[in-house]
A = this chain, B = another copy of it.
Amino acid sequence: MLSFPDRLADAVRKKGPLCVGIDPRWDALPTAIREVYADLPPADRAAAAVLDFGLRVLELVAPFAGVVKPQSAFFELLGPPGMRVLQELLIRANDLGFVTILDAKRGDIASTATAYADAAFAGAAIDNEVVPVWDADSLTVNPYLGEDAVEPFVTAARASGRGLFVLVRTSNAGAGLFQNLVCDGKPIYLHVGEAVARWNANTIGQCGLGAIGAVVGATHPRELVELRAALPNVWFLVPGYGAQGGTAADIRAAYRPDGLGAVVNSSRGVTFPFRPDDPAWEAKVTEAARKASAELRS
Contact = CB atoms under 8 A, between A and B. Distances in A.
Interface stretch (A54-62, A171-179, A247-255, A290-298): A171-179
A112 interface: yes
Contact of A146 (B25, B143, B175): B175
A115 B76 CA distance: 8
Contact of A76 (B77, B116, B192): B116
A2 to B, nearest CB: 27
Given A145-B167, A167-B145, A192 B178 contact: yes
A222 to B, nearest CB: 17
Please tell me how many copies of the chain the complex holds. Answer: 2
Contact of A182 (B115, B118, B178, B183): B183
Given A79-B131, A146-B170, 15 more contacts: A26-B125, A26-B126, A73-B106, A73-B119, A76-B116, A76-B119, A77-B115, A78-B133, A109-B239, A110-B172, A144-B179, A145-B175, A148-B172, A148-B175, A178-B192
B181 A146 contact: no
Contacts of A119: 73, 76-77, 79
B74 A115 contact: yes
A137 interface: no
Contacts of A15: none
Contacts of A127: 42, 45
A225 interface: no
Contacts of A109: 170-172, 239, 244
Interface in A189-242: 191-192, 195, 239
Contact of A133 (B76, B84, B170, B188): B76
